């Protein structure tokens, strides 16, 4: 999904900054579409701060953020390990929180923008074999509402939406 998003934004003429922990894959896609790739672990607050600061410094502002990072670790509510649960939550929920936290001030300074958070249909219908994923994407959905209301009440001219795709055949 992240690759498809990046390709579409590039086709529409956007300046695209892609991030991932997969350097080889990210660099290949970025080169193919004329984007910039930056290695980033979305669980790192320091990396979020640096990324947003660099984007603003290098490109004059920030107008769109797509929080797309996500991982799946198979497990039911009974069999999911706590370690796997924490990992899935850190990537999906914590990563999205940090992206929003640091994008909002940059977008506010840029005159507004749009935050798009990738949730999942699993956040509303539930799936028995990916308990942590369902919980993480539910957190993304709820956080998106909070960010949207905060930005609207603050009159920041920043939208925040969550997208809830169904099952998609991807390498994940």
Angle at 24 between CA 22 and CA 26, to 5 degrees: 65
Choose, from 82, 102, 129, 133, the residue flagged as catalytic: 133
What three-state secondary structure class fits 160? Answer: strand
The answer to whether residue 82 is catalytic is: no
User: Which runs of consecutive H residues, i.e. helices, occur in the chain?
Assistant: 2-11, 23-33, 45-59, 82-89, 95-109, 122-125, 131-153
How many CB atoms neighbour CB 104 within 10 A? 22
Give catalytic residue positions.
Answer: 133
């Amino acid at each position: 999904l992240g690759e498809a998003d990046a390709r579409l934004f590039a086709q529409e003429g956007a300046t695209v900054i892609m991030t991932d922990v997969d350097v080889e894959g990210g660099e290949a896609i970025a080169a193919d579409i004329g984007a910039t790739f930056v290695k980033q672990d979305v669980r790192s607050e320091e990396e979020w701060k640096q990324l947003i600061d660099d984007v603003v410094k290098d490109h004059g502002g920030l107008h769109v953020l797509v929080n797309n990072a996500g991982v799946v670790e198979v497990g039911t509510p009974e069999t999911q390990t706590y370690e796997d649960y924490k990992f899935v939550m850190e990537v999906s929920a914590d990563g999205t929180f940090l992206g929003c936290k640091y994008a909002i001030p940059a977008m506010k300074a840029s005159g507004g923008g749009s935050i798009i958070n990738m949730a999942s249909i699993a956040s509303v219908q539930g799936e028995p074999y990916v308990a942590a994923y369902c919980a993480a994407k539910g957190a993304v959905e709820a956080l998106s509402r909070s960010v949207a209301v905060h930005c609207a009440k603050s009159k920041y001219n920043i939208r925040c939406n969550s997208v809830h795709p169904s099952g998609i055949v991807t390498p994940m």
